Amino acid sequence: MKFEKEINRRKTFAIISHPDAGKTTLTEKFLLFGGAIQTAGAVKSNKIKKHATSDFMEIERQRGISVATSVMTFEYKNFLINLLDTPGHKDFAEDTYRTLTAVDSVILVVDSVNGVEDQTRRLMEVCRMRDTPVIVFINKLDRDGKNRFDLLEEIEKELQITLHPMTWPINSGKDFKGVYNIHNKSLRLFSANTKAEDDDTIAIEDLSNELLDKKIGERDANQLREDAELIEGVYGQLNENEYLKGKVAPVFFGSAVNNFGVKEMLETFTTIAPIPLCRNTNSREVCPGEDKFSGFIFKIHANLDPKHRDRIAFMRVCSGRFERNKYYHHVRIDKDVRFSNPYSFLARSKDTIDDAYPGDVIGLFDTGNFKIGDTLTEGENFYFTGIPTFSPEIFKELVNKDPMKTKQLEKGIQQLTDEGVAQLFTQFGGNKKIIGCVGELQFEVIQYRLLQEYGAACEFRPLPFYKACWLTSKDEKKLEEFLRFKQQNSGEDKDGNPIYLAQSEWFLNTEITNNPDITFHFTSEVHK
């Protein structure tokens, strides 16, 4: 295999969670371990603050800051770890879903007090679609949380994944005493604000050892013995293959803010998390060790500063070696392009790089050539699959307020939807242009950007739709008939693919039942 050494040391992953579960805090602890930052609190600027929900410019400003920290690369024990940041704000959930297409595994943070939350559920759905390997970190053990066994059961049931506890907590809240590492058979007693270099684990090979009673008291020691026996009986040994297939998720307990239980997880992560793997394209499987370079764009970030209109396209390298100033084939537009200033995100600063390897994510300056899902190769015509578009949740009609600027509006909306800010549909009955988003905030972003960047004024009229489904059928006639009959509720996406716009879950289920020859899809590949 070519570039074997480089590929084998790379681990590309994302930390995901419902807002406030502790993603930012955990990210920071990882960076401390990796030596990428020296002080706690350094990552906070990365986070979109909750109070800024009504001020999208502020959010965009913070998002601007977060471009530099969108990918955090650090070294840990000879591994090169690429940690991809995902926006915390729920209105930018689409960004997160797309980022998940560029990683090889994820760490999911669950708050032990709140358990599984909305965003946790949805993020896991995305992981399941691609069988992404997941490690779960149950956070905030220093607070009185749910019963651990109940919590595991809740996570397994709600997220449809089998769990495998790697550590086990001794109490929680005020009585939290630490975690027992089932895997290594060692005990770590809780202390607040553990330093990166602290290593005060106590080896306890045999839980019947009296040392355990001395360390945590007889009552808790007995409880731990009982729990451990139960866990051993139920879970047995971790099957790493099942983890790599996304079927079993190792679980760690801890407290991110106290840097407790984090190191155990990082150690296991570096041992078992997958290195860059082969990926599917529309024509064949492409493997990292191939001679020739290939990669795809999963995120585009526009600069809102009118003086700097450049956009940054984020590309994940999938095979071969990417080199600066070399011409690559842009499959969709069938053109050769080259990049003189590609940059990496090492140590939180933007550095121009000369080359990059599979697993790496690099930033490419873009003047409007890219759209999410685009593939670059050394000449071969294929595109990476598995970069889906999800149904939006809010739908509004786009109304042009200045007929003199129709062209600008068209161009603007095309480009903004290429960037993935929103989705554009055209309704068959009445030819309305419909914008679909996951959050209200995006409508403000679109209105503002259309005016500022394209001089086009628009407004939005709410529409009573609840979901857009992509339609396919083996029977073309049936599909055509359906679309004609349901003109007010059907249309096409930007690429001309037919969609059904459902007013409610009830309508959707009724149509699904009444039209067995038509398949209703909740996601679409960006390219068809």
Task: Note the residues at the interface with ligand G4P (CB under 6 A).
Answer: 17, 19-25, 47, 88, 139-140, 142-143, 255-258
Cβ-based nearer residue to ligand G4P, 191 or 504: 191
Q: What is the DSSP string of 450-494?
A: HHHHH---EEEEE----EEEEEEES-HHHHHHHHHHTGGGEEEET
Give the Cα separation of 154 and 160 in Å (integer): 10
Find the shortest distance in angstroms from Cβ 190 to ligand G4P: 11
Give the integer Cα–Cα distance in Å for 249 and 133. 7
Residue 15 CB, nearest approach to ligand G4P (Å) = 8
If the CB atoms of residues 17 and 319 are measured against ligand G4P, the closer one turns out to be: 17
Measured from the CB atom, is 51 or 474 closer to ligand G4P? Answer: 51
The smaller minimum CB distance to ligand G4P, of residues 31 and 468, is found at 31
Q: Quick one: 122 or 521, whose CB is closer to ligand G4P? A: 122
Query: What are the contacts of 1-4 at 24+ separation with CB within 8 A?
Result: 1/288, 1/289, 2/289, 2/290, 2/291, 2/320, 3/288, 3/289, 3/320, 3/321, 3/357, 3/358, 4/289
Whose Cβ is closer to ligand G4P: residue 143's or residue 183's? 143
CB of 62 to ligand G4P, least distance (A): 13
Q: Longest C-alpha distance within the chain, in Å?
A: 84
d(CA 120, CA 223): 30
φ, ψ of residue 391 in degrees (nearest 5)? -65, 135
**How far apart are CB 256 and ligand G4P at their closest, in Å?**
4
Query: In whole angstroms, how close is the CB of 109 to ligand G4P at the nearest point?
Result: 6
- Enter the tokens of residue 442: 């995006």
CB of 504 to ligand G4P, least distance (A): 31
**Least separation, in Å, of the C-beta of 258 and ligand G4P?**
6
**Which CB sits closer to ligand G4P, 142 or 366?**
142
| Residue 438 half-sphere exposure toward CB, CA atoms < 13 A | 16
Closest distance between ligand G4P and the C-beta of residue 327, in Å?
Answer: 40
Alpha carbon 45 to chain centroid, angstroms: 19
Neighbours of 305 (CB within 10 A): 11
Q: Which is nearer to ligand G4P, 22 or 295 (CB)?
A: 22
Helix (H, G, I), strand (E, B) or coil at 513: helix
